[in-house]
Copies of this chain bind each other. A is one copy, B any other.
């Protein structure tokens, strides 16, 4: 009896060692993304994050990725993560401004920070704490999910010479920037991505914005709209990883750190990947379509857009103290950051043309 007890205890102890290791670390998660299964560089960032998590955990932490064709809810990612239908998501925070206007601010703002400035604000200027607070009430954590860098102002069939040229102009431009164009007299519309090329070709719309050369080139807009305007409205569009709070809190410390670091790396990488895609695509576009003209909106147009933006921000700030405090944090940070950007990165490019 004594001997059998000893054997029994040893077997039990042994299996406890094995199962403790196994039980504590085996994690199977599902991620919903707002994109189709292949939309570089967005989907590459998600795949790369999941692969890093898998490899760094020795295969113990597996994240299955569902594209929009599976879950059918491109703009429902936040809700699905909140309800725990998915453990995490990859999306853009400004898609949810109807649900909570402050969320808009964690993507990008017209005339706002560029990517360097914005990452510095997130990680060293208090931005992460503000974002965490804003998402906490929705039962989730939010992390930077990849930056597009500077977005272009869009493809126009005709040159914009004055504010008058905006009156009645039919343009596809969503979000806050769309509201600005609407204030200036544009007929702002939203059109499904698959119909954009035909709409622009047939004159259903006169102009549209998409992202930048890297993601625009496959849409073909450069073949039918010769004016490519420089950016003002999305200087540093940051995507988001959203993670269900209760699910994240249940992870081991090791897996929390693996996930956190993989998301952070994938986000930075996406910024660099998109830079490379844009450099390569722009090289091709300007070689194959030498008549494309890179334009900047005339100063009176830029000034009017800036004024409209300031008014819209003031309206939202008047409605919400939380919105106001995040905007003020961003504006204060941008003021000091831009002075450094100007004497640093900007001067170098200016003097080496």
Residue ranges of A at the interface with B (Cβ–Cβ < 8 Å): 3, 6-7, 10-11, 13-14, 17-18, 21, 52, 55-58, 111, 114, 116-117, 119-120, 123-125, 149-150, 152, 212-213, 228, 230-232, 235, 252-254, 257-258, 261-262, 264-265, 268-269, 271-273, 275-276, 278-280, 282-283, 286, 294, 296, 302, 333, 336-353
Q: Taking the nearest CB of chain B, how far is it from the CB of A225, in angstroms?
A: 16
Is the Cβ of B275 less than 8 Å from the Cβ of A120? yes
Q: How far is the CA of A128 from the CA of B343 in the complex (A)?
A: 30
Q: How far is the CA of A120 from the CA of B280 in the complex (A)?
A: 11
- What are the residues of chain B within 8 A of A114 when measuring CB–CB? 345, 348-349
Is the Cβ of A341 less than 8 Å from the Cβ of B349? yes
Is the Cβ of A150 less than 8 Å from the Cβ of B348? yes
Q: Taking the nearest CB of chain B, how far is it from the CB of A284, in angstroms?
A: 9
A120-B276, A123-B273, A150-B348 given. 20 additional CB < 8 A pairs?
A14-B17, A52-B257, A55-B254, A55-B257, A56-B56, A56-B257, A116-B271, A120-B272, A123-B272, A124-B273, A230-B343, A261-B265, A275-B340, A279-B333, A279-B340, A280-B336, A283-B340, A286-B339, A294-B343, A350-B350
6 contacts between A and B (CB under 8 A): A116-B275, A119-B275, A124-B276, A230-B344, A261-B265, A278-B344
Is the Cβ of B348 less than 8 Å from the Cβ of A269? no
- What are the residues of chain B within 8 A of A18 when measuring CB–CB? 17
Minimum CB distance partner of A299 in chain B: B351
Q: How far is the CA of A269 from the CA of B269 in the complex (A)?
A: 12
Q: Taking the nearest CB of chain B, how far is it from the CB of A64, in angstroms?
A: 19
- What are the residues of chain B within 8 A of A271 when measuring CB–CB? 116
Q: Taking the nearest CB of chain B, how far is it from the CB of A348, in angstroms?
A: 5
A-B interface, 3 closest residue pairs, ranked by CB to CB distance from nearest = A124-B276, A14-B14, A230-B347
Is the Cβ of A254 less than 8 Å from the Cβ of B343? no
Is the Cβ of B125 less than 8 Å from the Cβ of A276? yes
Is the Cβ of B344 less than 8 Å from the Cβ of A149? yes
Q: How far is the CA of A230 from the CA of B350 in the complex (A)?
A: 11
Minimum CB distance partner of A54 in chain B: B257
Q: Taking the nearest CB of chain B, how far is it from the CB of A196, in angstroms?
A: 21
Is the Cβ of B296 less than 8 Å from the Cβ of A347? yes
- What are the residues of chain B within 8 A of A338 when measuring CB–CB? 349
Assuming the contacts A253-B55, A343-B230, asked whether A116 and B17 have C-beta atoms less than 8 A apart, the reply is no
Q: How far is the CA of A262 from the CA of B52 in the complex (A)?
A: 11
Q: Taking the nearest CB of chain B, how far is it from the CB of A47, in angstroms?
A: 15
Assuming the contacts A57-B254, A254-B56, A346-B350, asked whether A340 and B213 have C-beta atoms less than 8 A apart, the reply is yes
Is the Cβ of B351 less than 8 Å from the Cβ of A230? yes
Q: How far is the CA of A231 from the CA of B340 in the complex (A)?
A: 12
Is the Cβ of A344 less than 8 Å from the Cβ of B231? yes
